[in-house]
Amino acid sequence: AQTVTQSQPEMSVQEAETVTLSCTYDTSESNYYLFWYKQPPSRQMILVIRQEAYKQQNATENRFSVNFQKAAKSFSLKISDSQLGDTAMYFCAFMDSGAGSYQLTFGKGTKLSVIP
């Protein structure tokens, strides 16, 4: 079974600064996807960024980028130029692309607060 660990329950960052959220995972699979989801206080989960394990290039979406270290099983999220709207719970998630069920396995989340 896969496990996802987010070791930072809470973090804060000043507006316009950069913050990095950590995620490690454990799997014996070679083909998989990794995701960061954002869950604002309204609770609707939104995809932030996705990484395919076979791609060595780190994914980037505007102010969001990842540092994917496959050998270390690490998948951190960097948020640049933090904005007040980035305040939310952030969940790292794993999907085994070879399995019959494409369920997501989530970490416990990191609560990010952006301070004006």
Partner 1 sequence: GAGVSQSPRYKVAKRGQDVALRCDPISGHVSLFWYQQALGQGPEFLTYFQNEAQLDKSGLPSDRFFAERPEGSVSTLKIQRTQQEDSAVYLCASSLGRTGDNNEQFFGPGTRLTVL
- Residues that bind partner 1 in the complex, under the rule CB under 8 A: 4, 33, 37, 42-47, 50, 52, 91, 93, 95, 97, 100-109
Distances (CA, A) of 75 to 66, 67, 96, 109: 7, 6, 15, 13
What's the one-letter identity of residue 56? Q
- Least Å distance, CB 95 to partner 1, is 7
- Least Å distance, CB 54 to partner 1, is 11
Per-residue b or e along 86-110, where b marks 16 or more CB atoms closer than 10 Å to that residue's CB: bbbbbbbbbbbeeeeeeebbebebb
For partner 1, the closer of residues 55 and 81 by Cβ is 55
For partner 1, the closer of residues 15 and 108 by Cβ is 108
- Least Å distance, CB 32 to partner 1, is 11
For partner 1, the closer of residues 2 and 20 by Cβ is 2
Cβ atoms of 50 and 34 within 8 Å: the answer is yes
Residues near 42 by beta carbon (within 8 Å), at least 6 away in sequence: none
For partner 1, the closer of residues 42 and 57 by Cβ is 42
Q: Where are the alpha helices (DSSP H) in the chain?
A: none
- Least Å distance, CB 42 to partner 1, is 7
